[in-house]
Amino acid sequence: MNEDDVAVARTIRHSPVMLTGSQIKTLRTWARIETQDELGRRAGMSRATVARAEKMGDKLPDHLSVANMISIVKVFEQAGAQFYLPQGEALEQGVHIYYPPRPYPLPALEPKEEPSG
């Protein structure tokens, strides 16, 4: 474990669920929260805080307080996401996320024009 990992562990050790920047961005899209500003408003933080978290990619956003991470997780739980740890797996492997299907209206198909010939 390097110094960065130790710093992250100190920040997040009491949080029930930690999400990477990529997971936050993916969940935001899934929850149909269109902007970082909207997620920030719902979670009680600034757009800049959400943007910085999403920019972390596959790393944990170490700048987020435990309270901020919990607020983000609660927004996604309210949208229907479920976070779980399969029996026998360690937290260091990460939590699993279940995204219930979201019905998206399918666009009407345009009829294909037959080539004249």
- Token pair 């970082």 is at which residue? 36
Q: Which amino acid is at 59?
A: K
Instruction: Indicate which CATH number applies to the domain containing 68.
Output: 1.10.260.40
3-class DSSP assignment, residue 96:
strand
Query: Is residue 37 included in any domain, yes or no?
Result: yes
Summarize pLDDT for 5-35 with one digit per residue, the tens: 444 444 444 446 788 999 999 999 989 999 9
Query: Is residue 79 included in any domain, yes or no?
Result: yes
Which range of residues forms the domain containing residue 12? 3-98
Secondary structure letter of residue 83 according to DSSP: E
Please determine, for residue 84, whether its predicted confidence score (pLDDT) is greater than 90: no
Q: Percent helix, strand and coil across the chain, each rounded to 5?
A: 45, 5, 50
pLDDT at site 110: 54
Q: Answer whether 19's CB lies under 8 Å from 27's CB.
A: yes
pTM of the model: 0.68
pLDDT at site 36: 97
Summarize pLDDT for 46-56 with one digit per residue, the tens: 999 999 999 99
**Alpha-carbon distance 92 to 84, whole Å?**
13
Pick from 60, 71, 66, 73: nearest CA to 8: 60
**Alpha-carbon distance 96 to 66, whole Å?**
19
Domain total for the chain? 1
